[in-house]
Structure 1
Amino acid sequence: MRKRRALVLTSESAGHPFRRSLPPHVLVMPKHDAPAKSDDQDWKLFGLSFAAFFTAFYSFIA
């Protein structure tokens, strides 16, 4: 049994030597058909952080 290899072992579009050594199927970017779901996780984290900082700061002053 012989191994089948690609005729071109390097990808010229990859700039870094490590990326050139990877097989071509690794460098293919996945297609995203649906847009990312918009969620308010960032706003929730901001609000929680603001409330925690305000509570800590206010408790040091009082």
Structure 2
Amino acid sequence: MTRRLVLTNEAARHPMRRALPPPPPPVTRSDDNDVKLFFLSFAAFFTCFYSFIF
């Protein structure tokens, strides 16, 4: 049994899916999203609390 050389993804069995380029690698994101969310929540709470007092 001879197979021809296939340079595409063999997991994609449909001919149109074989013609597509491989998907890009996932983008790594920085882990400072939690810190940004904390400061945003703190600022929102401080603004609301300050506006109720004065």
Would you say same fold, with TM above 0.5?
no
Q: TM-score by structure 2 length?
A: 0.45
